[in-house]
Amino acid sequence: MLTLVPNPSWRQWCRLLSKSPMPNDELMRPWSEPNVQVGLLSGSTWSLALIAHWRATRFDSRVITIFVPDYFCESALSILRIVGFSIHFYEVRGDLSVDMSQLRALCQKIKPDLIVMVHYFGSPNKNQSEFREFANVNKAWLIEDCAHYLIGNQQVGQVGDFALYSPHKIIASPSGAVLVARFATNANLTSEDAQSFGEPMTWSKQLVEIVEKLETGITPSWIRSSKWLTKRLAQRLGIARKPIRPPVFHNHNELNVSRSLSSPEIGRLGRACIAFYLGNANPGLIGDRFLATKSEMSEAKYENYLRQSNSHIWDEVVQVLSGGKVYPITDSGVNTVPYLVGYRGDEADVATLYELMASMGLPVTTWPDLPREVVGQINSHKGAHDFRSTHIYLPVHRSIRRKDILKIVRKISGSCKVDQCKATSRPVILQDEWEQLMLVNPVTNLLQSWSYGQAKAKAEAWDVRRVVYSVDGRDVAIAQLLVRRMYGVLKITRLSRGPIFFPGVSNEDKCKVLTGLVRESTRRPFNLLSIEPELLISESIPNLGLGSLVRISPIGSESVVINLNDDDETRRRSLNGKWRNQLALSERSPITIRHSTDHKDFNDFENSYFQFMEEKKFAGIPRGLFREIWLEAASCGGAHLFVAEREVQVLGSILVVAHGSSATYLASWNGVEGRKVNCNNQLLWRASCYLKELETKFLDLGGIDEIGTPTISAFKLGMGGHRYRTIGEFLSF
Alpha-carbon gap, residue 303 to 149, rounded angstroms: 11
Examine the domain organization and report whether 188 and 69 are in the same domain. yes
Looking at the predicted structure, is the pLDDT value of residue 236 above 70? Answer: no
Which one has a higher pLDDT value, 63 or 254?
A: 63
Q: H-helix or E-strand containing 471?
A: strand 463-471
pLDDT for res 299: 60
Looking at the predicted structure, is the pLDDT value of residue 418 above 70? Answer: no
Cβ atoms within 10 A of the Cβ of 241, count? Answer: 9
Examine the domain organization and report whether 171 and 125 are in the same domain. yes
Q: What is the CATH number of the domain that holds 357?
A: 3.90.1150.10
Examine the domain organization and report whether 489 and 364 are in the same domain. no
Query: pLDDT confidence of 251, banded at 50, 70, 90?
Result: low
Is residue 198 in a domain?
A: yes
Contacts of 226 (CB under 8 A, 6+ apart): none
Please state the length of the chain: 733
Looking at the predicted structure, is the pLDDT value of residue 674 above 60? Answer: yes
In the three-class reduction of DSSP (H, G, I as helix; E, B as strand; rest coil), residue 729 is classed as strand
Examine the domain organization and report whether 404 and 424 are in the same domain. no
Query: pLDDT confidence of 284, banded at 50, 70, 90?
Result: very low
Query: pLDDT confidence of 156, banded at 50, 70, 90?
Result: confident
Examine the domain organization and report whether 475 and 593 are in the same domain. no
pLDDT for res 337: 65
Which residue, of 236, 251, 276, is where some domain finishes?
236
Q: What is the CATH number of the domain that holds 27?
A: 3.40.640.10
Report whether 121 contacts 146 (CB < 8 A).
no
pLDDT in tens, 712-727: 888 999 999 999 989 8
Looking at the predicted structure, is the pLDDT value of residue 279 above 80? Answer: no
Is residue 551 in a domain?
A: no
Is residue 303 in a domain?
A: no
pLDDT for res 275: 80
Is residue 244 in a domain?
A: no
Which residue, of 205, 236, 267, is where some domain finishes?
236
Alpha-carbon gap, residue 118 to 147, rounded angstroms: 8
pLDDT for res 217: 74
Query: What are the DSSP calls for 477-524, one per residue?
Result: EEEEEEEEEETTTEEEEEEES--EEPTT--HHHHHHHHHHHHHHHSSS
Report whether 644 contacts 682 (CB < 8 A).
yes
Query: pLDDT confidence of 549, banded at 50, 70, 90?
Result: confident
Query: pLDDT confidence of 162, banded at 50, 70, 90?
Result: very high
Which one has a higher pLDDT value, 598 or 414?
A: 598
Is residue 540 in a domain?
A: no
Question: To the nearest whole percent, how much of the chain has pLDDT over 70?
Answer: 86
Which one has a higher pLDDT value, 662 or 148?
A: 662
pLDDT for res 281: 35
Looking at the predicted structure, is the pLDDT value of residue 412 above 90? Answer: no
Report whether 493 contacts 481 (CB < 8 A).
yes
Average pLDDT, the chain: 84
Most confident range, picked from 53-62, 179-188, 275-284, 566-575? 566-575
Looking at the predicted structure, is the pLDDT value of residue 13 above 80? Answer: no
Is residue 202 in a domain?
A: yes
Q: Which of 271-275, 389-393, 567-571 has the lowest mean pLDDT?
A: 271-275
Give the mean model confidence (pLDDT) for residues 284-292. 31
Alpha-carbon gap, residue 374 to 381, rounded angstroms: 6
Strand partners, 486: 490
Which one has a higher pLDDT value, 13 or 50?
A: 50
pLDDT for res 255: 44
Query: pLDDT confidence of 351, banded at 50, 70, 90?
Result: very high
pLDDT for res 446: 96
Examine the domain organization and report whether 500 and 517 are in the same domain. yes
Q: What is the CATH number of the domain that holds 477?
A: 3.40.630.30
Give the mean model confidence (pLDDT) for residues 301-305. 71
Examine the domain organization and report whether 197 and 331 are in the same domain. no
Count of structural domains within the chain: 4
Examine the domain organization and report whether 201 and 94 are in the same domain. yes
Examine the domain organization and report whether 194 and 117 are in the same domain. yes
Examine the domain organization and report whether 88 and 227 are in the same domain. yes
Examine the domain organization and report whether 399 and 423 are in the same domain. no
Query: pLDDT confidence of 285, banded at 50, 70, 90?
Result: very low
Examine the domain organization and report whether 579 and 710 are in the same domain. yes
Alpha-carbon gap, residue 593 to 668, rounded angstroms: 14
Looking at the predicted structure, is the pLDDT value of residue 524 above 70? Answer: yes
pLDDT in tens, 45-88: 999 999 999 999 888 877 899 999 999 999 899 899 988 899 99
Looking at the predicted structure, is the pLDDT value of residue 353 above 70? Answer: yes
Give the mean model confidence (pLDDT) for residues 357-380. 86
- Beta-strand (E) ranges in 497-634? 500-501, 527-532, 550-553, 558-563, 592-596
Query: pLDDT confidence of 118, banded at 50, 70, 90?
Result: very high
In the three-class reduction of DSSP (H, G, I as helix; E, B as strand; rest coil), residue 393 is classed as strand
The pTM (predicted TM-score) of the whole model is 0.75
Most confident range, picked from 17-26, 79-88, 225-234, 325-334? 79-88
Alpha-carbon gap, residue 46 to 263, rounded angstroms: 9
Which residue, of 366, 387, 412, is where some domain finishes?
412
Is residue 247 in a domain?
A: no
Looking at the predicted structure, is the pLDDT value of residue 689 above 90? Answer: yes
Alpha-carbon gap, residue 164 to 144, rounded angstroms: 6
What's 356's DSSP letter? H
Looking at the predicted structure, is the pLDDT value of residue 167 above 90? Answer: no
In the three-class reduction of DSSP (H, G, I as helix; E, B as strand; rest coil), residue 597 is classed as coil
Is residue 270 in a domain?
A: no
Q: H-helix or E-strand containing 2?
A: none
Q: Taking each helix axis as running N to C, give the angle between helix 268-279 and helix 299-310, from 0 to 180 degrees, rounded to the nearest 10.
A: 80
In the three-class reduction of DSSP (H, G, I as helix; E, B as strand; rest coil), residue 455 is classed as helix
Report whether 130 contacts 100 (CB < 8 A).
yes
Report whether 174 contacts 164 (CB < 8 A).
no
pLDDT for res 617: 77
Strand partners, 344: 327, 391
Structural domain for 614, as ranges: 559-725
Give the mean model confidence (pLDDT) for residues 594-622. 88
pLDDT for res 22: 67
pLDDT for res 157: 87
Looking at the predicted structure, is the pLDDT value of residue 289 above 60? Answer: no
Q: H-helix or E-strand containing 90?
A: strand 86-90
Q: H-helix or E-strand containing 314?
A: none
